[in-house]
Amino acid sequence: MKPLLITMGDPAGIGPEIIGRAFERGEARDCVVIADPAVMRRAGAAMTAVIDTPADLAAVPPGCLPVLVPPGLPAGLAELPWGRVDARCGAAAARCIEQAVRLVQAGDAAAIVTAPIHKEAFAAAGMPFPGHTEMLQSLAAAGGPLPPVRMMLANDELRVVLVTIHVALRAAIDALDFDAVLQTIRIAHAAGAGWGQRQPRIAVAGLNPHAGEGGRFGREEVEFIAPAVEAARAEGITVSGPFPPDTVFMRARRGEFDLVIAMTHDHGLIPVKYLGVEHGVNVTLGLPFVRTSPDHGTAFDIAGQERADPASLIAAIRFARSLLDGAGR
């Protein structure tokens, strides 16, 4: 199998540290890290081997972390303080993501696992994207139409796909409509093939309390969520709902559903994160390549203190491998 690529994330955060720890535990042995080697050494990766292409991984000596340096990295990243927002760190994170996408699109790598970025540093670097998902969507388009993508957060107990993501709650509600919900159902259904399940059982959560109570607590369920569910069922998709958001996740956790679709970011992510951030994996559905990431941020408050737990990154690496295996890649 071609190697997985792991992007460094924000150099001032815990990304480089958890990458190094995952490698030490044998979980990233078939991976190439897109990073600044000096940053990786500062984070505890004592031995690094700089390579020019992912194909050079086979020649890396045992015990050395394979690092591929992307073009355009700002200088002096390893000298910047831990845990502080810096435009240079945001720019470095972006260069790593860009290089990873170039390599996977060229067929030189199997998938991308991204370490956390800091959205404020990203913005300070002039990046016009609120997060990884939107940037990956743009890069995948390569100047053409943007592919429809969705965020899924997954652990061993729940898989939740979001209709809207990084926008204010009021704007998210305004963005909801029949097409957005139906498109999300279709993307979630198609993603089932990624883990070897051709007909995942999909539950759609409502937006309002009690899923609107037939229009008493809001009209969104009646006007477009339920019609979107019916349209998807007419296409042969195994989907039901809308269900009250405060109970549907429990039903899925007990095995009644394989996937839950939630209307807004916090509606969907709170239940998954409550079960343990260390077990969660963020997956971008709809991209022409596999991309996963840990279910946490840069943790500036503990960066550089050797306290970061690599469990979620390890889960992201394993999940990427499982998606590749399920799709026969």
Q: How far apart are CA 259 and CA 191, in angstroms?
A: 10
Q: How many domains does the chain have?
A: 2
Q: Say if residue 74 is in the same domain as residue 164.
A: no
Residue 79, pLDDT score: 95
281 within some domain: no
Mean pLDDT of the 56-79 span: 94
Q: For residues 222-250, b (16+ Cβ closer than 10 Å) or e, as one string?
A: bebbbebbebbeeeebbbebbbbbeebbe
Closest CA to 229 of 272, 191, 184, 198: 184
Q: Say if residue 96 is in the same domain as residue 167.
A: no
Q: Say if residue 142 is in the same domain as residue 167.
A: no
38 within some domain: yes
Per-residue pLDDT band for 329 (boundaries 50, 70, 90) equals: low
For residue 237, which phi and psi values (nearest 5 degrees)?
-85, 135
177 within some domain: yes
323 within some domain: yes
280 within some domain: no
- CA dihedral for 139, 74, 292, 32, sign (positive or negative): positive
Q: Say if residue 230 is in the same domain as residue 303.
A: no
Q: Say if residue 72 is in the same domain as residue 125.
A: yes
Closest CA to 129 of 176, 81, 94: 94
Q: Say if residue 99 is in the same domain as residue 238.
A: no
Residue 328, pLDDT score: 44
144 within 8 A of 176, measured Cβ to Cβ: no
Closest CA to 237 of 285, 199, 203: 199
Per residue in 84-138, pLDDT (tens digit) is 999 999 999 999 999 999 999 999 999 999 999 999 999 999 999 988 989 999 9
Mean pLDDT of the 7-34 span: 94
Domain that holds residue 141: 1-147+298-329
Residue 29, pLDDT score: 81
Per residue in 214-229, pLDDT (tens digit) is 889 999 999 999 999 9
Q: Say if residue 307 is in the same domain as residue 244.
A: no
239 vs 275 pLDDT, higher one: 239
Helix spans in the chain (H): 15-24, 37-42, 87-105, 119-124, 132-141, 169-175, 178-191, 220, 226-234, 245-253, 265-274, 311-326
Q: Say if residue 10 is in the same domain as residue 124.
A: yes
18 within some domain: yes
| CATH number reported for the structural domain that contains residue 57 in this entry | 3.40.718.10
How close are the terminal C-alpha atoms of the chain, in Å? 8
Q: Say if residue 130 is in the same domain as residue 234.
A: no
The set of residues, in sequence order, having a beta carbon less than 8 Å from that of 24 and lying 6+ positions away, is none
Per-residue pLDDT band for 188 (boundaries 50, 70, 90) equals: very high
For residue 292, which phi and psi values (nearest 5 degrees)?
-130, 165
201 within some domain: yes
Residue 327, pLDDT score: 54
**What's the mean pLDDT when you consider all of the chain?**
93
286 within some domain: no
135 within 8 A of 226, measured Cβ to Cβ: no
The set of residues, in sequence order, having a beta carbon less than 8 Å from that of 257 and lying 6+ positions away, is 201, 202, 203, 248, 251
Q: Say if residue 143 is in the same domain as residue 2.
A: yes
Residue 290, pLDDT score: 94
Q: Say if residue 195 is in the same domain as residue 97.
A: no
Q: Say if residue 245 is in the same domain as residue 179.
A: yes
What does the block give as tokens for 117? 């970025």
